[in-house]
Amino acid sequence: FWDFLILFFCLPVVIFNEITKKRLLGDVSCRIVPFVEVSSLGVTTFSLCALGIDRFHAATSPAASARPIERCQSIIAKLAVIWVGSMTLSVPEILLWQLAQDTSPVSGVVTEYCTMKPSSTLPESIYSLVLTYQNARMWWYFGCYFCLPILFTISCQLVTRRVSGSEKPERRGAKPSQSERHLNCTIVGLATIYGLCATPENVCNIVVAYMSPGLSKQTLDLLNLINQFFFFFKCSVTPVLLLCLCRPLGQAFMDCCCCCCEGCSPDTASSEGSADSKLKTEMSSSIFFDKTRESPPLLALGTPC
């Protein structure tokens, strides 16, 4: 959802700015776009950490085969903590950026761009906090939004593999082992895509921080455009990768799309066949639970929705 929000709101603003040299929505977009983008980094970071902890608990549980299915309320509570925490840590971005204008000496065209400069109208205490955040922003990015998810994912995977390898073979069934491998591959794939797309931005931030006086404005704009490209590429690839690697999630997504396309009006026979195939898919390819779901009685629900 957050990746979709990035592509739906931030991508058009950046493209419009690059084409027209005018900032869509003016000063509002200069503050909201960085806030949403940094919040996205926080959501990805803390989600990868939460998934790593979940896999570690699944591997070290004394009765992994009897582990109950997590309730929806618990998952929603975790998501709320991740999202609220990410947005809270991104609040300084709203106070840090503001709209600026520059007139070209050759053509005389006025261009609008966003600059990191706290407003002097802020209260003194808040102004000092925002200024401190600006000075530490590069290393905060590198430590929290890059090193933390990568190192955390690698550590959890190594510990999980070590614990899984030390368990006795008779304690592990074939299906839980296969489902854990699928989910571990999904987490590693998400972390790999995130690391590859976040590396150029962190490298550019460090280079700009120590070589900014020697770089022209055109070079800085080009580096910023490259960073934006990798960021939007990550937001585009991550949902596709997740749907491809997580077969139950991809199957549920396809069922939902097919249901909407068909108008939710199949006959009873097709409903029973669809429900039967959906039940078989859920029981055979579920990778999100350590315990196979109990087979419920098959009922004709009328529609596949």
CA pair distance 267, 253, nearest whole angstrom? 21
CA pair distance 58, 289, nearest whole angstrom? 9
Q: Is residue 273 part of a domain?
A: no
**C-alpha distances in Å from residue 41, one per residue of 199, 237, 283, 291:** 13, 15, 34, 32
Alpha carbon of residue 47 to chain centroid: 7
CATH assignment of the domain containing 207: 1.20.1070.10
pLDDT at 87 (0 to 100): 92
Answer positive or negative: Cα dihedral of 193, 35, 75, 258: negative
% of the chain exceeding 70 in pLDDT: 74
When pLDDT is cut at 50, 70 and 90, the band that residue 173 belongs to is: very low
Pick from 296, 263, 260: nearest CA to 278:
296
CA pair distance 145, 46, nearest whole angstrom? 9
DSSP state of 65: G
Q: Mean per-residue pLDDT for 117-145?
A: 86
Q: Is residue 277 part of a domain?
A: no
Q: Is residue 210 part of a domain?
A: yes
SS3 101: strand
Q: Is residue 158 part of a domain?
A: yes
Pick from 200, 181, 179: nearest CA to 189:
181
pLDDT at 39 (0 to 100): 92
Residue 63 has pLDDT above 90, yes or no: no
When pLDDT is cut at 50, 70 and 90, the band that residue 290 belongs to is: very low
CA gyration radius for the chain?
24
Q: How many domains, the chain?
A: 1
Q: Is residue 114 part of a domain?
A: yes
When pLDDT is cut at 50, 70 and 90, the band that residue 271 belongs to is: very low
Q: Which pair of structure tokens corresponds to residue 268?
A: 């009873």
Residue 256 has pLDDT above 70, yes or no: yes
Q: 114 phi and psi, to 5 degrees?
A: -100, 140
- Domain range for 89 is 1-61+70-163+178-255
How many alpha carbons fall within 13 Å on the CB side of residue 221?
A: 11
How many alpha carbons fall within 13 Å on the CB side of residue 276?
A: 6
Q: Is residue 263 part of a domain?
A: no
- 247: amino acid identity, one letter: R
Nearest-5° Cα angle at 283, 293 to 242? 105
Q: To the nearest whole number, what is the mean pLDDT of the chain?
A: 76
- 168: amino acid identity, one letter: K
Q: Which pair of structure tokens corresponds to residue 297?
A: 């009685």
**pLDDT tens profile 88-123:** 999 998 888 888 877 766 666 777 878 888 888 888
When pLDDT is cut at 50, 70 and 90, the band that residue 85 belongs to is: very high
CA pair distance 236, 131, nearest whole angstrom? 33
Q: Is residue 247 part of a domain?
A: yes
* Highest-confidence segment of 7-11, 213-217, 259-263: 7-11
When pLDDT is cut at 50, 70 and 90, the band that residue 268 belongs to is: very low
When pLDDT is cut at 50, 70 and 90, the band that residue 66 belongs to is: low
CA pair distance 153, 241, nearest whole angstrom? 17
Answer positive or negative: Cα dihedral of 108, 111, 116, 118: positive
pLDDT at 22 (0 to 100): 82
Q: Is residue 150 part of a domain?
A: yes
Residues 6+ apart with CB under 8 A from 260: none
Residue 175 has pLDDT above 70, yes or no: no
